[in-house]
């Protein structure tokens, strides 16, 4: 399925809070958007993921609530293929460069969602940072603060050729165990003669 813009009734869109990466909905902004919508302002389409059963809202929660408040339906939506997980992943970096700017609490919530997820927490800090549109340092600091810096003995990643590979990482950053020094009284090791 390719991306397409269609119109949908609001009640056909599942605005699941698990896909809402903001710390909270700003009802003042919702009211302002609703007033602008009633006055004829055109907003970008909502972004939804469709899994052949449900349209999951990924981007545009403030606009969604504004449409509800303004009692406007149907609404324009950009439909992408996928389900709730894809909607959540898309939402994590939303509004990094448009719409109501994200607060530090919004950024923190997005990163926490990834760090606490069993699959996404295995991603590199760089990949999490890119997905959430934050710095790697922010991810690292939050990971340490949440005490989520567990020692992983291996990391799975995608190579430049598109294949999946595993890297053993359990000893990265660790000093090698010292070898016990040989004492002068110890006889040197001699191989036994095969008789």
Inform me whether the pLDDT recorded for 130 exceeds 80. yes
β-pairing verdict for 46-50 and 75-81 = parallel
The string of pLDDT tens digits covering residues 102-122 is 888 889 999 999 999 889 999
pLDDT of residue 179: 58
pLDDT of residue 14: 95
Question: Do 107 and 134 contact (CB within 8 A), yes or no?
Answer: yes
Alpha-carbon Rg for the chain in angstroms: 26
12 compared with 191, residue with greater pLDDT:
12
CA 89 to chain centre: 5
| Per-residue confidence band for 181, with pLDDT thresholds at 50, 70 and 90 | low
Residues 6+ apart with CB under 8 A from 10: 64, 67, 68, 73, 74, 75
The string of pLDDT tens digits covering residues 49-67 is 999 999 999 999 999 999 9
The pair of structure tokens assigned to 39 is: 């006055």
The whole-model pTM stands at 0.69
% the chain with pLDDT above 90: 53
With tokens 């810096």, the residue in question is 149
pLDDT, mean of residues 169-186? 59
pLDDT of residue 2: 75
Distance CA 48, CA 90 (A): 9
Inform me whether the pLDDT recorded for 11 exceeds 70. yes
CA 107 to chain centre: 10
Lowest mean pLDDT among 17-31, 136-150, 173-187: 173-187
Q: Which of 32-46, 115-129, 169-183 has the highest mean pLDDT?
A: 32-46
The DSSP code sequence of 70-118 is HT--SEEEEEEE--HHHHHHHHTTTTSSSSSPPPHHHHHHHHHHHHTST
Q: How confident is the prediction for the chain on average, in pLDDT?
A: 83
Inform me whether the pLDDT recorded for 173 exceeds 60. no
């Amino acid at each position: 399925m390719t991306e397409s813009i269609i119109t949908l009734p609001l009640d056909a869109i599942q605005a699941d809070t698990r896909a809402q990466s903001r710390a909270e909905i700003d009802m003042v902004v919702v009211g302002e958007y609703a007033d602008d919508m009633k006055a004829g302002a055109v907003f970008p389409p909502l972004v939804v993921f469709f899994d052949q059963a449900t349209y999951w809202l990924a981007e545009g929660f403030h606009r969604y609530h504004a449409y509800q408040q303004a009692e406007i339906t149907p609404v324009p939506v950009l439909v992408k293929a996928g389900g709730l997980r894809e909607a959540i992943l898309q939402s994590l970096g939303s509004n990094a460069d448009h719409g109501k700017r994200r607060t530090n609490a919004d950024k923190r919530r997005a990163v926490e969602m990834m760090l606490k997820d069993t699959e996404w927490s295995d991603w590199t800090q760089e990949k999490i940072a890119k997905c959430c549109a934050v710095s790697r340092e922010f991810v690292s600091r939050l990971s340490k603060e949440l005490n989520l810096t567990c020692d992983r003995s291996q990391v799975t990643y995608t190579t430049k050729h598109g294949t999946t590979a595993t890297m053993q990482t359990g000893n990265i950053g660790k000093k090698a165990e010292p070898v016990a020094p040989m004492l002068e009284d110890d006889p040197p090791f001699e191989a036994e003669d095969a008789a």
